[in-house]
Amino acid sequence: MACDYSTGVGLGCKDVIGGIKSLYFFTDGTSPYTLTAADVTFTASTTQEIEDIDTAVTVYKWDLPRNTATFSEALESSDENGSLMYAPTLVITLHGLQYEIQDLLHTVAKNYQSVGVLTNRGNMFIAGFERGLGASAGDTAIGAGLGDGQNMTLTLSSQCATPVKMLPAPTAGASGYPFDGLATVANVTISATQITPA
């Protein structure tokens, strides 16, 4: 049977921390881009870790305020249909109301794309592999109190046949970070173009 397994799992150290440090939105240089199996080489032992991105791509880095973004991936199963899928969901909150950021969020909301997610623990994974992440909700809120802030929230989600794909562990400070673990680091260009919030 193709879904047999042949290993167990040992108990690891209690060294896990949460939080997302930054996001990397993929493009082909001109438009949003969704990575597929045709664009990558997987590690020999698994199709869950991407060894290399074979296609030249550009990514736009989004720096995030601390403790403002979440990622989850629900497993959805149906005994009646014999189906199994994963539902990745990325929720982003940005501070302040600026037309440049509103324009960007509006454009992202109209597209489907892969998004690299760098965690505070140093893991790098690709959300929206094969089918892309698309906007499923959003909100602009101005609180009543002086300390409540002005926030824009965007929820990106998808439905995928397999779990989120991981990249090799990056090394902080390395050239090409956080894509430095790939076999061909030069295939990923990190754009210097960013909106600088006022």
Tell whether 122 is covered by a domain: yes
pLDDT at residue 1 is higher than 60: no
pLDDT at residue 180 is higher than 80: yes
Tell whether 184 is covered by a domain: yes
CA dist., res. 60 & res. 14, Å (int)? 33
Average pLDDT, stretch 13-35?
92
**pTM across the whole model:** 0.92
Tell whether 102 is covered by a domain: yes
Domain count along the chain: 1
Tell whether 197 is covered by a domain: no
Tell whether 177 is covered by a domain: yes
Tell whether 5 is covered by a domain: no
Tell whether 123 is covered by a domain: yes
State the average pLDDT for the chain: 92
pLDDT at residue 189 is higher than 60: yes
Summarize pLDDT for 142-179 with one digit per residue, the tens. Answer: 989 988 888 899 999 999 999 999 999 999 999 999 99
Residue-level pLDDT at 46: 87
Tell whether 86 is covered by a domain: yes
* More reliable by pLDDT, 185 or 95: 185
Residue-level pLDDT at 37: 94
Q: What is the DSSP string of the chain?
A: -TT----------S-----EEEEEEEESSSSB----GGGEEE-TT-SSBEEEE-S-EEEEEEE--TT-EEEEEEEEEETTTTEEEEEEEEEEEEES--HHHHHHHHHHHTSEE-EEEEETTS-EEEETTTT-EEEEEEEEEE-SSTTS-EEEEEEEE--BSSPPEE-PPP-TTSTTTTSTTSS-GGGEEEE-------
pLDDT at residue 130 is higher than 90: yes
Average pLDDT, stretch 17-40?
93
Max Cα distance, the chain (Å)? 61
- Domain containing 86: what range? 20-191
Summarize pLDDT for 49-86 with one digit per residue, the tens. Answer: 999 999 999 999 999 989 999 999 999 999 999 999 99
* More reliable by pLDDT, 197 or 124: 124
Residue-level pLDDT at 27: 94
